[in-house]
Structure 1
Amino acid sequence: MTEPSRLRLTAYAAAQLVLGILALVLAILTVTGAALMVVWVGGLLLAISVPLTRVVADAHRRMATDVLGLEVPRPYRPVPSHPWHALVAVARDPMTWRDLAWLVWACTFGWVIALICVLELLALVTWPLWWWTLRPKMRARSQIDLWFLATSRTERLQQRVQVLTETRAEAVDSAAAELRRLERDLHDGPQARLVALSMSLGLAEQLLAEDPDAARRLIGDARTTTSAAIGDLRSVVRGIHPPVLADRGLTGAVQALALDMAVPVTVVADLDGRPPAPVESAVYFAVAECLANVGKHARADAVTIAMTHVDGRVRVRVHDDGVGGADPGAGTGMLGVRRRLAAFDGTMSVSSPTGGPTEVILEVPCDLSSPRTTPSSGPG
């Protein structure tokens, strides 16, 4: 990564001067809002100051990573859409309080460092100081900024352990629910038909000598019951791992789903191989759930599914032009998708304003292996 020029560093310092004044205002608003939380005014102040603080912090985080030549991810936890839940989530996020401490630093000592960097350029006498000491001062300022604004390795490990604990518990619950579903499907379908088959064959055996015609009718009924039981078993097997997924891969399986939709579905895929089988299955069932929701609720005229593999992640975008208003937290289907993907460190994001359109983005980190066996794109 190319080191920023001195003029660019000075421009950063000038921006930090302006943002430092805003940091002072935000610090006052945040403290005042926290003190007034007993009345509604406090919540209103925090609803203004916290998002603005994160915008300002993001700007400083980008400048600091450019100065130091680092890559630092945005460290904030997801914020729910419900106002009260969002307030609780923000209050529980350690970065909220680190941002507040950073505001104090940014509008005091950090602001002084930025001011010195700018003034040294403007005076002829101090120009040599600007030339020789600008980089060390800006690097020091950036390191302190990231000490506040980026999670440490220990914190990242703690967060990782927390995420793994939660996803493991969700995976266990999901597996238990799936076993119960399979038990119900087997009990209500194939088992019931096999019991009926056994009874029909028993009666046919008793009637074979006395009433051969009735016995033949019972055997015919038994043959029909056998065909129905086989069909039920195939349905159960498809619910575990669809044969089309094993035979044609993720692209072909999603195209098969698209063909079964009453709404026109276009599938565009750019996958240079196949994900691991468990990931492939999880993504397939996630897409199937998205399409089922489109068929039930969206009243859409067209659906587009785009599948890519970028930066070590399989990314699937499901877009429909329906009425929108989808709430991923309202039903068990999308919650199940989120749990299924979370077991592989995957994520699901939903954008569905009232009036539409709806866009669901599924992402799962994985490597691809073996060449694809189906065309990479095709209309549904």
Structure 2
Amino acid sequence: MTGSVAAALRTGPRYLGTRWPWRSLACLIVAGILSCATVIGIVPVVLLGLTRRLRTALWEPMLRAHCARLRMIDPSIAERADTEVRNSADEQRLPTVRHVAYILGAAVSGGVAALLAVFAVTIVGMLLAAPLVIRDDYLDLGVWTVETSSGAWVLAVSGVVFLVLLAVVVGGWAVFESRLARLLLGVETDPWRLEAARLETTRSALLDAEGSERALLESELHDRVQHRLVALSMSLGLAEAADGDGPAGRLAADAHRQVDETLAELRAVLLGYSPRALIERGLAPALADLVADVPLDVDVRLDGLSGPRLPAPVEHMSYVLVSEALTNAVRHAQARHVTVRGDRAGGMWLLSVADDGVGGAQLSVGRGLGRLRGRLGALDGTLTVTSPVGGPTTIRMECPV
């Protein structure tokens, strides 16, 4: 059996020998019932008001019932529509305008179509039963009275023709219903768009997983490795004090110095990787801590952060970008002054870092700025570098938020 009533109709006459005409008729009958239920369900909405709890309690069951009805004519669309409705319910979202429009549109079209179908089925039944009726009586059709068996069989043949036409019309109505659901319930059937949506979902999941792993690694390094190194440093300090001038004391002093250097390097890695100030307090405090230890005149001004915080991946990439730019300014650019500017505008986060150094910075593949551009691409962001020889250098990041 084909996968939908639309596919069955495309097979031509073979459609009549499938289950789809009967499934379409059953869907039409259920549509009539749901049409009555929709009219009844609107009454408490009008009387009790459009509260969130009431709308959720009424619209969700109606949408779920319509999704179950759609399974009779197009299971794939019904499954996607039901998934959308379930996700909306789980996230406690109110029905959208399109959802409400679908319920009202299905109520009108289903109610009218159901009444017409009842009338058509009654007429077809009378025509098909004409030979049996004529045996004992006559059939009065208003302008035409049938009393002979030959006339009755003509009516019966007409009934068969009308039955075929009714099956096709009901199937056409079912196709209209499935397309209406696809349009108003947000159901996408284009395979390329579905694949794009799947990739977008996968990418978001990977970014979330990266953030979780980064936070876990930072916590492990900070809470376990760093604490063990501090404890080791203290033990070596005690050993150094116990035999300050002896060979054991000198060896302990050298080991103590190496441990302190390792601790300093670990703190530097943690500061540039995922500082706790960024996770707990946001981008502005984290950048304030970052520039405090930079031997340059750094002017930071971030606008557009008075509302909700930036998404965690965007905050992290912004911090890493400023950290990389400051490192380059200190090590390579011979800069004296750095300006950091950030702003949220039109759904985009714009961040720029400019220095008065010698310039010549490039987006080399596999190097710091090149890797940042690739990671920003995963966020649909862009990274541009303007750095003529002689300076100044401006690194600009744009990312949707």
Could you say whether these structures have the same fold, taking a TM-score greater than 0.5 normalized by the shorter chain as the test? no
TM-score (norm 2): 0.38
TM-score (norm 1): 0.39
Q: Between Structure 1 and Structure 2, whose CA radius of gyration is higher?
A: 2
